[in-house]
A and B are shown apart, each in its own frame.
Chain A
Amino acid sequence: MFTRLLSRSVALLTAACFLGLGTPCSAIVHDGRSYAIEAAIPELDRKENPFTLRHTWWHGELDPGKSRVIRHQLFKGNEYWFWAGCSEPSARIGIHIYDAEGKRVEAESWKRDHVAGARIVPSRTAAYLIRVTLHHSEDPPAEWAVVYGFR
């Protein structure tokens, strides 16, 4: 329990520090978003050619086995990472990217319990479908958030 609390505190503090929160104009604090940003840090902190994090994000609630789809415009020439985070540390979440015809098109994807990521190098400039699925939750519905970065 203590480890979980500590892990959660570090995640929130890290994400807050990275975002420069703690100012009067800080964004809404959302655990899922903080975890998603924590998962993004290695790509944002690259010494060469790091990803730029967008400060816009999506969020909502999901029951196990259910998915939400985000339709988002991507540009050929850019490379994108989408990171999903779930507020409940014991949850399991996944994220994948599909084109307008429904074909899965991400270059790679990974998942680790309540965080997941998917990367795409778009072959076309178009709207894509980013699908978040909650695989497991001990306390449904679970809060989720998605952030993204590009380079």
Chain B
Amino acid sequence: MMTKDLLSPALQSVRTLLLLGIAAAMPAAVLTGAWADDDAPTQLDLSTVPGELVDDVVLPVPHEIFHALEKLGPQDWNSQIRPQSLETPPSRTRAALLFGLVLANGFIAVEAENRDEVRRIGRDVVRFSEALGVKQAVMEHAQSIIDAANDQEWQSVRRELDRTRETVLETMEKLRDDDLAHLVSLGGWLGGADILAALAGGSPAAVELLHQPDLVEQLTRSCRKMPPALRSEPVMREVERVLQELQPLLRKADGGGLPPADLQRVQNLTSELIRLIEETADNG
């Protein structure tokens, strides 16, 4: 199990017993105590939705998207690995975006089952978390990523990457760094979208996975709520510009109907933005 290295042997035994008991008991409980829930309206009055909407935007992890893509056939994940380690930028804005990209690269390396790359990313996680002031919180995750990569336990690496992301977001929110936490998520989403655009290759089923205009709209709205000083940074101005241009393009991906020229444009936009984030990192 994923968490074995985090728990003492005694706790592991307790957990195992509990899990076995619960696993055995739950289906019966569900069968006897739960009932099909059909009394909700079959049609929602959409005019009531804005007043009920939860404000939090939860972005899909790259693995969630890659999982759907993988079902369409084997993908050349190795071709999408960015092998070079990036310099840690002094700017926390760039560090946050890069941290998200590093996590996205981690998911790609896992899909490629590339042990050395995952281990390198585990080390990058530590470096970038230090730049964000959350190193202590993610040290155990980073070690777990490296250990699981050594054992080639890919499912464990995926879960640990998701936990790393969540821990970083929670820690940053506790530190009242909500805006930077949002940028970590945004960086991860950008990395996933870039790979998706590169691998979609004109397959309508793959292209349809890019149909995320509402998500981009939520991202754009979140960026607009950020403090003016943050929004005025060149990299953030570019992030907002790219999101704005992406939204109508991604809307066309419904049903896989995005024309090849538009797909190319999506790929160019995401790749150029990633390059800019990385370059600004290199330039400090």
Contact = CB atoms under 8 A, between A and B. Distances in A.
Interface in A93-132: 94-96, 98, 100-104, 108-113, 116, 118, 124-127, 129, 131
A3 interface: no
A127 B159 CA distance: 24
A41 B68 contact: no
A4 to B, nearest CB: 15
B255 to A, nearest CB: 7
Contact of B68 (A76, A100, A127): A76
Interface string B155-169: 000110011011101
Interface residues of B, number: 73
A5 interface: no
A13 B140 contact: no
B65 to A, nearest CB: 6
Interface in A4-34: 10, 13-14, 17-20, 22-25, 27-28
Contacts of B254: 124-126
Between A17, A23, A39, A101, the greatest number of chain B beta carbons within 10 A of the residue's beta carbon is seen for A17
A24 B26 contact: no
B44 A102 contact: yes
Contacts of B225: none
Chain B contact residues: helix, strand, loop or mixed? helix
A28 B52 contact: no
Interface string A58-89: 10100000111111110111100000000000
A24 B44 contact: no
Contacts of A75: 60, 64-65, 67-68, 209
Nearest to A72: B58
B138 A25 contact: yes
Contact of B18 (A14, A42, A100, A103): A14
A102 B254 CA distance: 17
Contacts of B137: 24-25
Between B52, B211, B212, B218, the greatest number of chain A beta carbons within 10 A of the residue's beta carbon is seen for B52
Contacts of B40: 94, 96, 104, 109, 131, 133
A119 B163 CA distance: 23
B153 to A, nearest CB: 14
A52 B65 CA distance: 13
Interface stretch (B28-36, B226-234, B272-280): B28-36
A24 B27 contact: no
Given A76-B68, A78-B68, A23 B18 contact: no
Size category of the binding interface on chain A: 35 or more
Contacts of B211: 124-126
A16 to B, nearest CB: 9
Contacts of A100: 214
B36 A108 contact: yes
Nearest to A13: B18
Contacts of B175: none
Interface string B55-73: 0101111011101110110
Interface of B: 2-3, 6-7, 11, 14-15, 18-19, 22-23, 26-27, 29-30, 33-46, 49, 52-54, 56, 58-61, 63-65, 67-69, 71-72, 136-138, 140-141, 158-159, 162-163, 165-167, 169-171, 205, 208-212, 214-215, 218, 253-255
Given A17-B19, A52-B158, A103-B42, 10 more contacts: A20-B2, A20-B3, A25-B136, A39-B26, A54-B64, A69-B52, A76-B68, A76-B205, A77-B72, A96-B40
16 contacts: A10-B18, A14-B22, A18-B15, A22-B6, A22-B11, A42-B23, A42-B26, A54-B61, A69-B52, A70-B58, A77-B209, A104-B42, A125-B208, A127-B215, A129-B44, A131-B52
Interface of A: 10, 13-14, 17-20, 22-25, 27-28, 38-39, 41-42, 45, 52, 54-56, 58, 60, 66-73, 75-78, 94-96, 98, 100-104, 108-113, 116, 118, 124-127, 129, 131, 133, 150-151
